[in-house]
């Protein structure tokens, strides 16, 4: 029996998921051998459409611009896709676009997949041609709008019905079973462990057979994200290495996405997993500050510090993870704004800088450029690199609640630093050391931009 299926077709701006975007989605839900729901919508990709795509689909770019974005249809689409077998013609194509679009919205998607191209080849091994046009021709299916999402999805439903009619339910089910996309688990990991994972926000930890911590990750749906690690396609070499070694999985649920992000960052820094590199502990942060030389010109100095306070950050004009990143940024800024490389600390010389001889420096190093003009240009040049001032009058509290588990958290921040968590019982704050953490800053700044409604200023 054909059941619990989501037959999907997407039209896109091009052929590369992640770079190109969805412009139309067609969905046909099948339950108990019948269509239970069908719908389609144009999707605004917020970018241009390849003229070739327009020519084959007939999709009007003007109508697409007036259509909802993927973010606006995400909840409706997710309600229909989640928990169902994804059916598509060349399913890896449609899946890769859906996966990329959903991941941009912090939603992991790792369904069981049925490719009707592979199904056609299995059922009709001696037949030539298994593309959608070939199938339409082979069975004399009628279609009004080829290369439109819903019409193409309905053709796949006709094909499944035709296959069941020709081969019977048992034969069709057995054939589907041989080709559906299932996660490939390492021998030391049981499928039952994946089924028991929570479907809510939190952090997961992968361990090998020697109990060494391999990897720490986070997701708003732990179960879906962990399962996505075990598919053969769309994976990096690092993920394949991790997959082969996993013997045990631990999870920690959180009230929401922000708490999961902060916990992931903290665990990676403290536990140093083998395959996490980006968020590992930094030995120091490099801050740039302005000083004034005897002639009145602003010059740049930097220092490396293992602990940065919020005052250190406010007094700096830029902050970098590594000395290499700092030097690279100085080179780019100096060249773009004709700054003196001697005054920005890139050259050590008792005379003029090399750029002055090449006429790329206007002479600040030898007192020939007006002081006010140079200083104004230098300060303006670094304005985009400066950590912005804290946009609130004082501390803020961000409250998250997990609807599935009932977990609730109230996280307190001040001057881009994580202050602590409010106790739900006595409303006290579990204070943390007020040290500026670059990763916390990035997490919080993005969250404030995305979820301003969850933020409340803390009053005494």
In whole angstroms, give the CA distance from residue 20 to residue 23.
10
For the ranges 98-112, 270-284, 325-339, 384-398, which has the lowest average pLDDT? 270-284
Strand order in the sheet with 113-115: 34-42, 22-31, 5-12, 85-88, 113-115
DSSP 3-state of 406: coil
The reported pLDDT for the residue numbered 181 is 65
Amino acid 94: pLDDT: 94
Residue 302, helix vs strand vs coil: strand
Average pLDDT, the chain: 89
Instruction: Determine which helix (DSSP H) or strand (DSSP E) holds 62, and give its type and residue range.
Output: helix 61-65
Q: Is the confidence at residue 265, as pLDDT, over 70?
A: yes
Given a cut of 90, whether residue 179 has pLDDT beyond it is no
Q: Grade residue 279 by pLDDT with cuts at 50, 70 and 90.
A: low
What are the residue ranges of helices labelled H in 145-203? Answer: 149-179, 191-195
Name the percent of the chain lying above pLDDT 90: 56
pLDDT of residue 431: 74
Q: Could you give the CA distance from residue 231 to residue 181 in angstroms, rounded to a whole number? A: 8
Is 303 or 157 the better-scoring residue by pLDDT?
157
Mean pLDDT of 361-377: 92
Q: How many CB atoms lie within 10 A of CB 107?
A: 20
Residue 312: predicted pLDDT: 81
Beta bridge partners of 157: none
User: What are the angstrom distances between the C-alpha of 444 and each of 202, 227, 384, 448?
Assistant: 17, 28, 18, 6
What string of H, E and C letters represents the secondary structure of 231-294? CCCCCCHHHHHHHHHCCEEEEEECCCHHHHHHHHHHHHHHHCCCCCCCCCCCCCEEEEEEEECC
pLDDT recorded at residue 271: 92
116-123 and 149-179 helices, crossing angle to 10°: 60
Residues of the chain with CATH 3.40.1440.10: 191-271
pLDDT value, residue 237: 66
291: buried, middle or exposed (CB in 10 Å: 19+, 13-18, 0-12)?
A: exposed
* Maximum separation of any 2 CA atoms in the chain, in Å: 91
Query: CATH 3.30.420.10 in the chain, residues?
Result: 5-179
- CATH number assigned to the domain with residue range 5-179, chosen from the 4 options 3.40.50.2000, 1.10.290.10, 3.30.420.10, 3.30.1490.270: 3.30.420.10
Give the CATH H-level superfamily of domain 191-271: GIY-YIG endonuclease (3.40.1440.10)
Reported as a pLDDT band with limits 50, 70 and 90, residue 244 is confident
Angle subtended at Cα 432 by Cα 428 and Cα 433, rounded to the nearest 5 degrees: 140
- Name the β-bridge partners of 40: 26
Q: pLDDT, tens digit, for every residue of 51-71?
A: 999 999 999 899 999 999 999
């Amino acid at each position: 029996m054909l059941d619990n299926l989501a037959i999907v077709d997407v039209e896109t701006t091009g052929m590369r998921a992640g770079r190109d975007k969805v412009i139309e989605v067609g969905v046909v839900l099948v339950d108990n051998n019948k269509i239970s729901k069908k719908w389609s919508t144009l999707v605004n990709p917020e970018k241009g459409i390849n003229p070739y795509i327009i020519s084959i689909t007939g999709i009007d770019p003007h109508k697409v611009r007036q259509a909802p974005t993927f973010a606006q249809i995400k909840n409706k689409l997710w309600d229909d896709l989640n928990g169902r077998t994804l059916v598509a013609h060349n399913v890896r194509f449609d899946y890769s676009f859906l996966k990329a679009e959903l991941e941009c919205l912090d939603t992991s998607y790792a369904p069981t997949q049925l490719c009707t191209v592979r199904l056609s080849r299995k059922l009709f091994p001696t037949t030539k041609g298994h593309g959608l046009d070939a199938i339409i021709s082979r069975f004399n299916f009628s279609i009004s709008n080829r290369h439109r999402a819903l019409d193409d999805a309905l053709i796949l439903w006709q094909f499944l019905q035709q296959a069941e009619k020709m081969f019977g339910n048992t034969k069709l089910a057995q054939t589907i079973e041989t080709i559906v996309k299932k996660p490939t688990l390492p021998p030391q990991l049981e499928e039952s462990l994946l089924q028991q994972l929570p479907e809510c926000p939190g952090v997961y930890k992968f361990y090998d057979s020697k109990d060494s911590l391999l990897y720490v990750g986070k997701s708003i749906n732990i179960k879906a994200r962990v399962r996505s690690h075990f598919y053969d396609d769309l994976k990096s070499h690092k993920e394949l290495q991790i997959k082969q070694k996993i013997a045990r999985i631990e999870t920690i649920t959180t009230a929401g996405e922000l708490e999961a992000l902060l916990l992931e960052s903290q665990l990676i820094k403290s536990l140093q997993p083998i395959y996490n590199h980006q968020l590992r502990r930094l030995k120091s942060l490099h801050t740039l500050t302005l000083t004034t030389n005897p002639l009145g010109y602003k010059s740049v100095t930097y220092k490396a510090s293992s602990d940065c306070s919020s005052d250190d950050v406010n007094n700096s004009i830029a902050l970098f993870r590594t000395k290499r990143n700092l030097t690279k940024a100085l080179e780019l800024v100096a060249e773009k704004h004709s700054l003196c490389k001697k005054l920005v600390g890139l050259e050590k010389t008792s005379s003029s800088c090399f750029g002055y001889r090449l006429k790329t420096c206007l002479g600040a190093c030898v007192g020939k450029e007006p002081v006010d003009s140079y200083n104004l240009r230098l300060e303006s040049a670094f304005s985009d690199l400066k950590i912005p001032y804290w946009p609130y009058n004082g501390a803020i509290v961000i409250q998250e609640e997990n609807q599935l588990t009932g977990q609730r958290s109230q996280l307190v921040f001040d001057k881009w630093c994580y202050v602590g968590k409010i106790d739900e019982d006595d409303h006290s704050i579990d204070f943390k050391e007020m040290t500026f953490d670059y990763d916390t800053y990035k997490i919080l700044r993005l969250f404030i931009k995305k979820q301003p409604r969850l933020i409340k200023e803390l009053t005494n």
